[in-house]
Amino acid sequence: MRKFGFKIFSRNLHTAPALIKECAEFTHSVDDVFIELTACCDTTDDDWIEIKKQIGNVDVQIHAAHSNFNPGCKELVQQNQEILALRF
C-alpha cells in the first residue's frame, strides 16, 4: 500500500507556526498519509513538547540525518533511547 507524507522540520514551529498543526489536521482527515518529521539539532525540549501537542496521535516518521539520533547505528541504541525519551 502506498502512503503519502508531509515532510516538516522541527524548526517549522518557529518559521511557519501554523504548518505543523495544519499538517496534523489534514493527516487526521485522510487515510494513508503520514508526517515525516526532521529533527533539527537546535530544537529545545519545550519545542518538542509543543510539537507533540500539535501533532497529536498521527503517524509520524522521524528523520534525523542531522542530529545525534542515529537509528541505523546499533552502537548508539542507548543514546538513541535517551534522545527519544526526552523528545517523545
End-to-end CA distance of the chain: 27
| pLDDT attached to residue 88 | 57
Q: Which residues contact 22 (CB under 8 A, 6 or more apart)?
A: none
CB 76 within 8 A of CB 70: yes
pLDDT of residue 67: 60
DSSP 5-52: EEEEETTHHHHSTTHHHHHHHHHHHSTTEEEEEE--TT--HHHHHHHH
Contact 51, 20 (CB under 8 A): yes
pLDDT at 61 over 60: yes
Residue type for 29, please?
Answer: S
pLDDT digits (tens, 9 = 90+) for 30-48: 888 888 888 877 788 899 8
Task: Pick the range with the lowest mean pLDDT from 8-12, 20-24, 50-54, 75-79.
Answer: 75-79
Question: Crossing angle for the helix pair 45-55 and 77-87, nearest 10 degrees?
Answer: 70
